[in-house]
Structures are given as C-alpha cells and as structure tokens.
Amino acid sequence: MADQEGDKTFDATPHRRQQAREQGQVAYSQDLGSAALLLAGAMLLGAFGPGLVEFFGKLLQRQLGQVVTLTADDNLLLNQTRGLAGPLATTLGPILGLLLLAGILSTVMQIGFLFVPDKLAPDISRLSIWQGLQRLFSLQGVSRLGFGLVKVVIVAAIIGTLLWQYRSDVLESASLSTAQLAKLLIDTSLKTLYWVGLALFLLALFEFAFQKWKFEQDLKMTHQEVREEMKEMQGDPQIAARRRQVQRQLAMNRVGTAVPKADVVVTNPTELAIAIQYDPATMAAPVVLAKGAGVIAQRIRRLALENNVPVVERKPLAQLLYKQVKVNHPVPNETYAAVAEVLAYVYQLKGKKIPPVRAA
C-alpha cells in the first residue's frame, strides 16, 4: 500500500532538504562542468585564436632570433623572465580568467553557493577495494558506464562526419603551403571542438536532469520518517497535548478566582468573553481580569452567571479587548468610551452611582 511504513511516498520537507544540503548531498553532474569548459574553451579559441597565433609567432621569432649568451648573470636572467612573463600574463590572463569563470558558473548554476568542510577531510572508506567494486558494479555504476559508452559513440560519429566533410582538403594537403596547412588544421580542429563540445553539453544536460530526478526520488520520505521529523521539530504530540491541557487547566483556575471580582463580562457573543473590573478608588482605568475563547469563554460566562456578574454583548469591543489587552492590564485609550458605556449600563442595572472613567 502507498502509506506503508517502508514506501517513500512523501515529498521531502524543507528541513530534510536543508539537512541533505548541509551534508553535501545535492544534484550535481561533473560532466556538465567539463562539457561547459570544453565548449567555453572552443569559443575562446575561436575569438582569441588569431591573436594568440600572432603573439606566439612573434614571441618565437624574438626568442630564437636573439644572440645566445651563456653569461650567468642574475640581473640578466631576472630581466628576461620579466620580459617573458609580462606579455604571457597579459595575453593568456583574460582567457584563463574566462575559463575559470565558466567553471565556477557551471557549478554554481547547478548547486548554488555551498561550502561543506566535511567533504575536504580524507575519507579512508573510499580506499576500500570491496566498496570500490560495489560502486563499480552497482546499478548507478553500470548506468554511468553505459552512458559513457554512448558519449564515446556520439563523439566518434561527430569526428568521423567532420573528417569525411574535409576528406578532399585532407587529401590535397600535401600540395598546400605551410600557412594554408596551418589554417586547415586550425579550422578543422575548432569546428570539431565546437560540435563535440555542444554534443557533450547537451548530453550532460540530459544527465543532470536525470540526476535531479534521482535525487528527488532518494529524498522522498516514508510515513515513519515524516512522523519522526515532526516529533523532532515540534516535540512529541502526546507531550504537547499534555502541555496544552495543563495550560488550559491553569487558565481555568485563574478564571475561577478572577471572574467573581469582575464588574461586567463583555462577550462576542459566544466565542469570546472578557471580564472587566473598575474601582475608581484604586484604578486609573478599567482592568481586564480574565479573557478567553472557546471553552474558557464558556467557563467565564458560566462563572459570571453563577456570581451575578452582568454579561453584556459587544462584539467589536470584545474582539478589540481580546486581541490587544493582556490579563491584569488596563484597557487602551481608544476603548474608554465603549467601556464607560458598558459600565454605565451595568451600574444603572444595579442602581449604583456611575463612576467616572479616568485616563491612565
């Protein structure tokens, strides 16, 4: 059945996803990063290739055309090193920087920014021959081997197709000049890199989609795991229920001693109940002695009737006092008029003199 204990039928919760991420368990394809680097390298060679050829040609001419000196001079060696390192850094620096950026982006776009120090520690278990054989002959290992063979076949087919297109040029290459032969080799190599890189990138995207799907399947949870996580995050439901019961009992006890002292109980009419007391001799403003909703509100109304405390229905006032006023705190300024009206009504019923309501 779908809801048996061992069936993973529930999607992973945010807490489980966060735990997996903290342990370095993410959907990631190494081939996607490699293919992105290969494609980026081919594009950079196409863009900067002519400049690189010209630079290295001039560099070779300059280095090989100089008079060779065998003088062991530190200053001469330092100057030659600076003269060679500066142009190399200026020419190759942007290309290497863009390749580094492509490698970083290919990883960040898959898993985001993630740092797991535990993954940097050496894992002795990976040196086990038995575990290595298990990984090699596992379902995942066999599938990766099959997928690798498919990539080899596709790459070989692309290279063979491109070489077949250039077959006439290759056969006539013996009659070409050095410059023409170099151009043919560069054009053939760049076009092959483009198509191989694009094919590997598309295959890597497919593999990443499969890795993402498999990762989601592995993250799914059983009914027991969902229950255990709820207990871990929210506590044992039985303990939580017992805690709520104790809190409700304490509230009932406070209500039992506070309501008989009240002058009036304001209701909503059945969902809320607020007990109010006002003594002009000791209080600057009316005070909320008790309040409650649901069962506690019923308890307040019942105690009010048993102790001859008037119950007055004022829906907006009851809602405002229940939301804004804490127990044993005076009512807010904006409710003075409404509370004074209720107290006036109660005092008229009892035939008492109406006390003035003063501001705090």
Q: Please report the pLDDT score of residue 4 as a whole number.
A: 44
Tell me whether the omega of the peptide bond preceding residue 332 falls within 30 degrees of 0, making it cis: no
Please report which confidence band the pLDDT of residue 2 belongs to, taking 50, 70 and 90 as the band edges: very low
When pLDDT is cut at 50, 70 and 90, the band that residue 123 belongs to is low
Question: Pairing mode, if any, of strands 272-277 and 311-313?
Answer: unpaired
Q: pLDDT at position 274, please?
A: 92
pLDDT at 8 over 70: yes
- Say yes or no to pLDDT of 297 above 60: yes
Going by C-alpha positions, the residue among 241, 326, 225, 287 that lies closest to residue 6 is 225
Of 147, 139, 146, give the one whose Cα is nearest residue 204: 147
**What Å distances lie between residue 298 and 147, 208, 250, 259, CA to CA?**
70, 60, 15, 12
Q: Where are the domains of the chain?
A: 23-61+80-115+134-216, 258-350
pLDDT in tens, 42-60: 888 888 878 887 888 788 7
126-184, pLDDT tens digit by residue? 666 766 666 666 666 677 778 788 888 988 998 888 888 888 877 777 777 777 777 78
Confidence of residue 339 (pLDDT cuts 50, 70, 90): confident
357-360: long-range contacts, CB 8 A cutoff, minimum separation 24: 357/278, 357/285, 357/286, 358/280, 358/284, 358/285, 359/284, 359/285, 359/333, 360/284, 360/285, 360/330, 360/333
Q: What CATH number has the domain spanning 258-350?
A: 3.40.1690.10
Render pLDDT for 253-266 as a digit per residue (tens, 0 to 9): 778 888 888 889 99
pTM, rounded to two decimals: 0.53
